[in-house]
């Protein structure tokens, strides 16, 4: 293993053993959860640094504590790199993650009770885009828009009709389980038609945008929110991009609005990840993520799997296993896990099953692409998935596939983890 954890091993062997076991699991599994990835050794080192010892409420040059000269340097680097990567007027790198980033955007732009309109959770949206049990629906009037029932894709005419009907103060685009390109220019037209703010949540596609394989919403959206992990391969945190006119409101929403001191060690990890994303090889990585996803989708469909929207344009796909094989997603996800292939069970559009026992499985290619998997490995994954779903309760078969998975994984290193 790459990290020297001798002090932890001596102080708390239980935590040490859990971490080592997780390292082993991450190395030995094909990780297809589209929101997961591998952070580099440099990102891990920055995230685990002595910066965790420092309190830094406020912003660079305007702190409430002394001794900030080095912290200011780190945060300024993260901010400037974010602005350069995405072409943004303003960046805030202090959100603790993507959900707090969305909460801050709402806090900055809206008043309590204002109307927000986001894609329905069960059709690919996120909890924080207005789901009825989330704060985004408790403190704001939430109305959803939907994908088309036939194509399972966004129908921008239908979104326009919904916007004219409900007249939202803010429209959310950018999703957690939508496998197609988002037309941000069209969303800008819709927002302008009804006088709404436009918020783009790029948590899933941040790395694809940097790599040039997905359109950038920054020219169109008032505010862009994101996690700092997933496809961009940083630590678990968040950031917000905005037009200059919203900069002050965004910063005030973070502090004093919603948060206290930033997590400086995370900010350092974010800065490192942004620098890595500026390198030419990152663009090659992002392009391969999409190539792998498209190839895997094609091979799965050739084997009889039914994919939501009939394929993918980005890094992820949602498989309707109930429709293709008459097996619920949870059963398939659990069987895949036993075979060493990690996914998550997921709702499909207009699903009649419950969220804890849905019809689908969600998979993606960012993590396996980081390891160096290409089209040939995607074909092997499709073959294994077919074998699993044909006999998901055959423990011996699952063990055999797991052994084959382990053999393949042994030939592909993981950043931050040694085999």
Host H or E run for residue 256: none
CB 83 within 8 A of CB 75: no
Alpha carbon distance 419, 416 (integer Å): 10
Alpha carbon distance 88, 168 (integer Å): 25
Alpha carbon distance 340, 399 (integer Å): 9
- The number of beta carbons lying within 10 Å of the beta carbon of residue 408 is 15
- The number of beta carbons lying within 10 Å of the beta carbon of residue 418 is 11
Alpha carbon distance 355, 245 (integer Å): 40
CB 187 within 8 A of CB 194: no
Active site residues: 55, 57, 201, 227, 230, 236
Alpha carbon distance 364, 61 (integer Å): 41
Alpha carbon distance 189, 198 (integer Å): 10
3-state secondary structure of 58: strand
Class of residue 197 by CB neighbours under 10 A (exposed 0-12, middle 13-18, buried 19+): buried
User: Kind of pairing, strands 360-364 and 316-320?
Assistant: antiparallel
Exposure letters 77-98 (e unless 16+ CB within 10 A, then b): bbbebbbebbebebbbbbbbbb
Rounded (to 5) percent helix, strand, coil in the chain = 50, 15, 35
Alpha carbon distance 23, 38 (integer Å): 11
Calculate the CA dihedral of residues 6, 10, 15, 16 and round it to 10 degrees: 30
CA torsion sign for 96, 97, 100, 104 is positive
Structure tokens at 230: 């997933």
């Amino acid at each position: 293993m790459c990290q020297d954890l001798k002090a932890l091993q001596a102080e708390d062997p239980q935590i040490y053993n859990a971490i080592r076991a997780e390292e082993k699991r991450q190395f030995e599994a094909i990780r297809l959860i589209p929101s997961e990835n591998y952070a580099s050794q440099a990102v891990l080192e920055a995230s685990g640094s002595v910066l965790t010892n420092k309190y830094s409420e406020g912003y660079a040059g305007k702190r409430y504590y002394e001794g900030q000269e080095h912290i200011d340097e780190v945060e300024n680097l993260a901010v400037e790199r974010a602005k350069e990567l995405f072409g943004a007027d303003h960046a805030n790198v202090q959100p603790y993650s993507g959900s707090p980033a969305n909460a801050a955007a709402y806090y900055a732009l809206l008043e309590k009770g204002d109307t927000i309109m986001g894609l329905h959770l069960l059709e690919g949206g996120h909890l924080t885009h207005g789901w009825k049990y989330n704060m985004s629906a408790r403190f704001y009037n939430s109305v959803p828009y939907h994908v088309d029932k036939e194509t399972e894709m966004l129908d921008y005419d239908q979104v326009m009709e919904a916007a004219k009907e409900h007249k939202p103060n803010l429209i959310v685009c950018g999703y957690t389980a939508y496998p197609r390109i988002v037309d941000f220019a069209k969303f800008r037209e819709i927002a302008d038609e009804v006088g709404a703010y436009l918020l783009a949540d790029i948590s899933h596609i941040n790395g694809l945008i940097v790599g040039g394989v997905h359109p950038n919403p920054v020219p169109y959206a008032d505010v862009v929110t994101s996690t700092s992990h997933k496809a961009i391969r940083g630590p678990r945190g968040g950031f917000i991009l905005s037009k200059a006119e919203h900069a002050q409101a965004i910063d005030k929403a973070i502090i004093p609005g919603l948060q206290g001191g930033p997590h400086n060690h995370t900010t350092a990890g974010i800065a490192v990840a942004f620098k890595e994303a500026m390198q030419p090889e990152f663009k090659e990585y992002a392009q391969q993520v999409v190539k792998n996803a498209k190839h895997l989708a094609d091979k799965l469909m050739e084997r009889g799997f039914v994919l939501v929207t009939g394929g993918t344009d980005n890094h992820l796909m949602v498989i309707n296993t109930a429709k293709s094989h008459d097996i619920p997603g949870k059963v398939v996800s659990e069987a895949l896990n036993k075979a060493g292939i990690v996914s998550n069970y997921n709702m499909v559009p207009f699903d009649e099953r419950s969220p804890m026992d849905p019809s689908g499985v969600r998979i993606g290619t960012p993590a396996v692409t980081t390891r160096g998997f290409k089209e040939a490995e995607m074909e092997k994954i499709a073959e294994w998935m077919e074998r699993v779903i044909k006999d998901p309760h055959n423990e011996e078969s699952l063990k055999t596939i797991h052994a084959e998975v382990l053999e393949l994984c042994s030939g592909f290193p993981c950043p931050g983890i040694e085999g």
